[in-house]
Amino acid sequence: MEEAGVGLGSNLGDKTGWIKAALAGLDRLPSSRLKMASGLYRTQPVGYLDQDWFINAAAVVETSLSPGDLLAGLLEIESSLGRIRTEKWGPRLIDLDLLYYGRKIISENGLVLPHPHLDRRRFVLAPLAEVAAQWVHPILGLTPGQMLALLPEEGQEVIRL
């Protein structure tokens, strides 16, 4: 079994409900189990700013799926919840990002691990630091908390639901 980090986000409709449904989907993936999920964070959008704030979270999954099969499972969860990809960084019902898979470094056909923007996204690092505090980025040699400390403050608040 390998440990993998997953980022979750939603900014349409019942945002908290979409996150909870996605977490349940993670726990139903074959040869996998949801090990831990962070609290929920309300965060301002990045990139395309003319949209509602997001609810973000992070999860750790133990899996024997390959990285590619795990990514396919995440995309299937998104699809089953009704996600239709329209515009990059635009509004979405649910977004699941594979953040890391153990300490593997991968760059192939649509799969780059660790996630290429991981170290620059407070909305990913704050919840990830809750559930994967000991994980070390295999290229940067930093934990999520250490990467988070290097970033400027931005609009984000922790909400507990």
Beta bridge partners of 95: 9
pLDDT in tens, 4-56: 999 999 999 999 999 999 999 999 999 999 999 999 998 877 766 677 888 99
What pLDDT score was predicted for residue 155? 58
Question: Smallest Cα–Cα separation from 127: which of 21, 19, 8, 45?
Answer: 8
- pTM value is 0.91
What pLDDT score was predicted for residue 137? 98
Q: Kindly tell me if the per-residue pLDDT of 63 is higher than 80.
A: yes
Q: Kindly tell me if the per-residue pLDDT of 161 is higher than 60.
A: no
Contacts of 104 (CB under 8 A, 6+ apart): 67, 113, 138
What pLDDT score was predicted for residue 4? 98
**Which of the following is catalytic: 92, 119, 121, 122?**
92
Stated length of the chain = 161
Beta bridge partners of 36: 60
pLDDT in tens, 127-157: 999 999 999 999 999 999 999 999 887 655 5
42 is catalytic: no
Rounded CA-CA distance 124/43 in Å is 10
Burial of 42 (0-12, 13-18, 19+ CB in 10 A): middle
**Which of the following is catalytic: 50, 83, 120, 121?**
83
Q: Kindly tell me if the per-residue pLDDT of 2 is higher than 90.
A: yes
pLDDT in tens, 67-116: 999 999 999 999 899 767 666 656 778 999 999 999 999 999 889 999 99
160 is catalytic: no
DSSP state of 44: -
Rounded CA-CA distance 124/8 in Å is 8
